[in-house]
Structure 1
Amino acid sequence: MKRIYFSMILIIAGYSSFNAQVGINNNAPLSTLDITAKNPTGTTTNVDGILVPRVDRQRAQSMSSVPVSTMIYVNSISTGTQAGTAANIEAPGYYYYDGASWIKLNPAINIYNSDGSLNGARTVTTGGNFLNFVNGTSNAGITTSATEGRLSANGSARGSLSLAGGTSTLDAYADNANVAQINSSGNSTKLSIGTTNATPLTLKTNGTERMALISNGNVGIGTVAPNTALELTSGTANTSGLRFTTLTSASPIGAGQALGVDSSGNLVTVANPSPTNVNISSVNSTTGANFNVNDLAATIVSGTSQSITVPTGGKALFINFMLGVDYTNNPAGGGQAYYEARLYIDGAATDCYMRIQEVGTAANAAFTISTIKFLTAGNHTLDVRMQRTFNNSTTSGANMICTPRSMSFNASYLN
């Protein structure tokens, strides 16, 4: 066999000396060495190809004075070290010598120590695994599941996300044991937070929604379903929940219109109250004329009849009547009677009266009536009338002569 190999070498060498090109399995080589497959087609199991020298890493590392472009196949890296000319030999494969070290043919790009450029879109399928970038105790990661995709940034002091467009920046961050913030900066003209469909925007604290901006623009505080442009619900009966801390009952009164609430709780303007005027109509006398009182009908106490005019918007009418009289005779009738003083308005008896038992001739009696009435606007007549009652069930028609000792009758109303 050695003689046969030697003969083949001599034949190739002799041929090359005449042609300067060598062809294997062909008579017209197209390059310095042109190898044609013995079986370029078909289903034969014979092996075609070139076997380059196979060495382990230690052998490649030990070579010296290696010509540039020398090619080998490293079949094992269990020997030698990844250093010197073998610095790039990190896995079995084809290597060529570039004059300084062995370079792997078509090496897999390692993003951890090599830069590169994408020439198209790439998809990384994590299969539910967390893709994490760690720098000490800080990390940024991407995780996915069948229902969730999450981007996280975790640091011992701060986790943050920063987005920039030119010099416009949006930062969101959470500080350890401190505030969490969302800020815009740079040349941003507005920070707009909201929805682009017919759904509400809400703010919550302690897990409960406290404030809502719904799709029609209504704002609710304490309610997430406001029915007006601004609706406050304090959660406490008879308390609005609206407070002006620098405008209190001690603040000076200024010009403007008063505010109130309607039956639905809506804030409305109300008429400013007019200053209250007190109008008094009164009779005061200690020399009034005598008058007769009997049991047949009520007699007007002399001097008490008076007319008042209640204006539009008039309020309560306050009435006060005081009368002191002397009984000057002893009319027939069988037994002591009672005397009644009653208020009349526009000739009609009211429910305001006082009764005192008859005490005999030369005795005196005192009557006091006080009440509040509400009258319609216009003119009204007021008077006090007296009548003898409970005359032992006997109607005599006899008069008791009454002499006024003092009398005061006031009718005052607020306007």
Structure 2
Amino acid sequence: MKRVQFSMIFLLVNFAFINAQVGINNPSPASTLDISAKNPTGTSGHTDGLLIPRVDRQRAQSMSAVPVSTLIYINSIATGTLAGTAANIDAVGFYYFNGTVWTKLITSLNMYNADGTLTGPRTVTTNGHLLSLVNGGNNVKITTTATEAALSANGSSRGFLNLVGGSSNIDFYVETTGIAQFNSSGNSTKLSIGSTNATPLGLKTNSIERLTVLSNGNVGIGTTAPNTPLEISSGTANVSGTRLTNLNAASPISTGQTLGVDDFGNVITVANPTAASVTTASVNSTTGASFNVNDTTVTMVPGTSQPITIPTGGKALFINFMLGIDYGSNPAGSGSSYYEARLYIDGVATDCYMRTQEYGPGGFSAQFSFNTVKFLAAGNHTIDVRMTRTFNNGVASGANMLCVPISLSFNATYLN
């Protein structure tokens, strides 16, 4: 029996050398070794297949001068160590020798039911098709087309995108209630929004840009081209567009300066005015000197000449004059003439005067009074009141009427 077996082996080897192809259960091998199942079909209980040598990790680790592509099956890792040629043998399974270490034969993984590890970059080409990850009514969609790349998250209660760095978070989400939010959370220390190049930052509502920050830091509200660190355009003439809700006309006044605007609309501080002081030149008398009045000359009322020094910029002068007199003589025709008191500034008659007619023959009284405002330029000035007879009405020309003051008040006042 042994002689027959050896003969068959020698015959098989000799046949292999001659044909360079060996078939088992196959008279016409298609490769160097072609093994066909003894029972390729049917319900036979016989075992068909190829049994690879089965060794433990220690045995594989101990092998030396192993040819490249040698195939073994590790049936135990209870022995040996993850070192040397066995550095990759960490589980039961098929291994082949790559010339340096035993390498695991990895079977294909189904991404739907098994985890895996990428050993290098991978690219998925969608050819314009949509990739969706769906759980009921919720989905995440990845789209790449010739003109668009998009990532969409659609949730039945919330669409949510969360970026995490350490314990800091940025959350983007939209609620089904319509609220859209962009928040930082966790241990975030700052939420910085802006650009890293020389482009402006804009915030808009209803498709209209409402706030603009230029690359130089200028902020515009209602304008996209602010010329100052803060520029507000209300869009309505004579309306600033600024309201201080907790500072209004009823707020208590404290120390500080007044705010105003210049010709360009810039907000500026206006120096607080100093407390007003009153400068007055006046005479008030009940014992004024008597004087004569006629139609040929203009006579200054004694005591009315007042020097006034006006400061730089000029001042508006408030002038008040009151004179009560008795006519002390009785020239022919007395009781019918007209007498006039007029304001003079620097010796020049002004348009401010009062004219009265005598009430009767000499001995009757008369009242003169006027009030006016005159602007005087800076410098020294003199004001006074002068009288003349403007209509003789029977009184001879040149005849004097004696005027005896009963009272005299003449005031010139301006505010500093």
Let me know the Cα RMSD of the aligned residues: 4.0
Q: Which amino acid aligns with 2:386?
A: R
| Distance change in 2, residues 1:414/1:24 (3 Å) | same
Structure 2 contact 130–144 (Cα < 8 Å) conserved: yes
Pairs within 5 Å for 1:382-393: 382-389=383-390
Match of 2:397? 396
Q: What is the CA distance between 1:203 and its match in structure 2?
A: 1.1
Q: C-alpha deviations, 1:302-353, integer Å up to 9, x for none?
A: 2212223444577532211122334445656899554332222222222322
Pairs within 5 Å for 1:276-295: 276-295=276-295
Q: Which amino acid aligns with 1:384?
A: V
Deviates more, 1:106-115 or 1:373-382: 106-115
Q: Which amino acid aligns with 1:383?
A: D
Q: What is the CA distance between 1:162 and its match in structure 2?
A: 0.9
Q: C-alpha deviations, 1:361-386, integer Å up to 9, x for none?
A: 34443322212233344443221112
| Distance change in 2, residues 1:330/1:154 (3 Å) | farther
Structure 2 contact 21–30 (Cα < 8 Å) conserved: no
Q: What is the CA distance between 1:219 and its match in structure 2?
A: 0.7
Return the alpha-carbon distance in structure 2 between the equivalents of residues 377 and 399 of structure 1: 39
Structure 2 contact 202–211 (Cα < 8 Å) conserved: yes
State the TM-score, normalized to the length of structure 1.
0.71
| Distance change in 2, residues 1:155/1:283 (3 Å) | same
Return the alpha-carbon distance in structure 1 between the equivalents of residues 402 and 172 of structure 2: 99
Q: Which amino acid aligns with 1:191?
A: L
Match of 2:366? 365
Q: What is the CA distance between 1:208 and its match in structure 2?
A: 1.6
Asked if residue 67 in structure 1 is aligned to residue 47 in structure 2, the reply is: yes
Structure 1 contact 341–387 (Cα < 8 Å) conserved: yes
Task: Work out the number of aligned pairs and report it.
Answer: 356
Structure 1 contact 305–384 (Cα < 8 Å) conserved: yes
Match of 1:341? 341
Match of 1:167? 167
Q: C-alpha deviations, 1:223-259, integer Å up to 9, x for none?
A: 1111111112223333323333333334443333333
Match of 1:262? 262
Residue 27 of structure 1: which of 14, 19, 31 is its match? 19
Match of 2:53? none
| Distance change in 2, residues 1:220/1:390 (3 Å) | farther
Return the alpha-carbon distance in structure 2 between the equivalents of residues 65 and 399 of structure 1: 166
Match of 2:140? 140
Unpaired runs of 5+ residues, structure 2, are 51-92, 94-105
Percent pairwise identity? 60
Match of 1:80? none
Which secondary structure state, in structure 2, belongs to the residue aligned with residue 374 of structure 1? strand
| Distance change in 2, residues 1:349/1:26 (3 Å) | farther
Deviates more, 1:135-144 or 1:306-315: 306-315
Return the alpha-carbon distance in structure 2 between the equivalents of residues 393 and 22 of structure 1: 178
Structure 1 contact 25–37 (Cα < 8 Å) conserved: no
Which secondary structure state, in structure 1, belongs to the residue aligned with residue 376 of structure 2? coil
Q: What is the CA distance between 1:209 and its match in structure 2?
A: 1.2
| Distance change in 2, residues 1:262/1:391 (3 Å) | farther
Match of 1:7? none
State the TM-score, normalized to the length of structure 2.
0.71
Q: C-alpha deviations, 1:116-159, integer Å up to 9, x for none?
A: 34444344343444322221222211234443322211112211
Deviates more, 1:281-290 or 1:354-363: 354-363
Return the alpha-carbon distance in structure 2 between the equivalents of residues 278 and 195 of structure 1: 60
Structure 2 contact 342–353 (Cα < 8 Å) conserved: yes
Structure 2 contact 222–234 (Cα < 8 Å) conserved: yes
